[in-house]
Amino acid sequence: MTAIIELDRVSIAFQKEVIYDQLSFSVNDGEFLCILGPSGCGKSTLLRVIGDLLGVDTGSVTVAGFPAAQAWQEIAYVFQSPRLLPWRDAEANVILGQQLRFGRERGADEMRQKARALLDLVGLGRDTHKYPAMMSGGERQRVSIARALAVDPRIVLMDEPFSALDVTTRRRMRSEIIEIWKKTGKTIVFVTHEVDEALELADRVVVLSVKPTRVLETVSLSMPRPRNLASPEMNAARMRLTRLLGVPEQAEE
Ligand SMILES: Nc1ncnc2c1ncn2[C@@H]1O[C@H](COP(=O)(O)OP(=O)(O)OP(=O)(O)O)[C@@H](O)[C@H]1O
Ligand SMILES: [Mg+2]
């Protein structure tokens, strides 16, 4: 397994508050890695560090063999809210992501084709001309996933992308993201604070502590997907993750 992302003894403090104190972990090429940790421990900040939106005080961040500052083109984001432009339809929103990344390097026809192919992949092949106001929350988030994939990143960083969706849509989106991951072979770094979400999705789960944040443990989940969350192995893994987090067992609301 080759590492595509490596954080080596990363420390960051904001004002005088230490967020990370020598945090190290790596992400393997092509893996689905979940980052699980309590609120405020620095999960979103971690994605900003990987995407070079934020520099580190000490330590190093390597992405695809380069310092993070030289590797931003390998990376795309999916945020908790889809951040679509309301006056652009689905296709035009996916094209916009490409325009911002490629400028004139990618022709208009190619961008449109790419947008259509990816909207098709996320299940919106018939809705390419819908505007955000006409879409459900799940559909909007699918557009933002298509937009992220359209810039051909090797790595997709996802920050609690389904947490604003209702339970049923969230479940469906989780199985869909697994299908998309299998089809595209991308490396996905997925932030969540829900144990069951990590259990359903991850190859490995990096469990973070409260601040000053360090890796409590990295838990590998080798069970085949789709996973039965009620199985004895899953229950054991759930218990382990829940104990590490030190919170009462979560029931999905
Ligand atoms: N620009 C900043 N300046 C000062 N403090 C910041 C800044 N950005 C983040 N923080 C602090 O860093 C810590 C980590 O923030 P972050 O948003 O990464 O947490 P999180 O794990 O994503 O939390 P949540 O689960 O609530 O989304 C928090 O205590 C936050 O207040
Ligand atoms: Mg966050």
| Domain-located, residue 209 | yes
Query: pLDDT tens digits for the chain (253 residues)?
Result: 799 999 999 999 999 899 999 999 999 999 999 999 999 999 999 999 999 999 999 999 999 999 999 999 999 999 999 999 999 999 999 999 999 999 999 999 999 999 999 999 999 999 999 999 999 999 999 999 999 999 999 999 999 999 988 999 899 999 999 999 999 999 999 999 899 999 999 999 999 999 999 999 999 999 999 999 999 999 999 999 999 998 655 455 4
Q: Does some domain include residue 218?
A: yes
Residue minimizing CA distance to atom 23 of ligand 1: 40
Q: Are 67 and 61 in contact (CB under 8 A)?
A: yes
User: For residue 131, what pLDDT is reported?
Assistant: 98
End-to-end CA distance of the chain: 37
Closest ligand 1 atom to 160 CA: 27
β-strand pairing of 155-159 with 187-192: parallel
Residue nearest atom 6 in ligand 1 by C-alpha distance: 14
CA distances to 52, 157, 198, 210 from 100, in Å: 17, 18, 31, 36
Q: Using CB atoms within 10 A of its CB, is residue 161 exposed (0-12), middle (13-18) or buried (19+)?
A: buried
User: Any bridge partners for residue 61, and if so which?
Assistant: 7
Q: Is the C-beta atom of 23 inside 6 A of ligand 1?
A: no
What's the 117 CA to ligand 2 centre distance in angstroms? Answer: 30
Question: Does residue 97 sit within a domain?
Answer: no
- 104 is a domain residue: no
- Amino acid at residue number 205: V
**Which residue lies with its CA nearest to atom 28 of ligand 1?**
40
Q: Whose CA is nearest to atom 16 of ligand 1?
A: 42
Probe ligand 1: pick from 12, 16, 18, 19, max atoms within 8 Å of CB?
19
Determine if ligand 1 sits within 6 Å of the CB of residue 44: yes
Question: Which residue's C-alpha comes closest to atom 1 of ligand 1?
Answer: 14
- What pLDDT was estimated at residue 41? 94
The answer to the question of residue 87 being in a domain is: no
pLDDT at position 248: 57
Would you say 25 and 49 are in contact if contact means Cβ atoms under 8 Å apart?
A: no
Q: Is residue 94 in contact with ligand 1, taking CB distance under 6 Å?
A: no
pLDDT tens track for 118-177: 999 999 999 999 999 999 999 999 999 999 999 999 999 999 999 988 999 899 999 999
What is the C-alpha separation between 143 and 79, in angstroms, rounded?
Answer: 12
Residue 117 parent element (H or E) = helix 108-121
The C-alpha atoms of residue 30 and residue 17 are separated, in whole angstroms, by: 34
| pLDDT confidence of residue 251 | 52
Q: Flag whether 99 is in a domain.
A: no
Which is the closest atom of ligand 1 to the Cα of 37? 21
Of 12, 14, 21, 35, the one to substitute when testing ligand 1's pocket (max ligand atoms within 8 A of C-beta) is 14
Task: Identify the CA nearest to 82 among candidates 134, 32, 137, 40.
Answer: 137
Q: How many other C-beta atoms are found inside a 10 Å radius of the C-beta of residue 107?
A: 10
Residue 16 is part of which domain span? Answer: 3-81+155-245
Let me know if residue 91 belongs to a domain: no
Q: Tell me, yes or no, whether 111 lies in a domain.
A: no
Confidence (pLDDT) at 50: 96
Give me the CATH number covering residue 20. 3.40.50.300
Domain count, the chain: 1
Single-letter code of the amino acid located at 65: G
Helix 90-102 and helix 137-149, axial crossing angle in degrees, nearest 10: 30
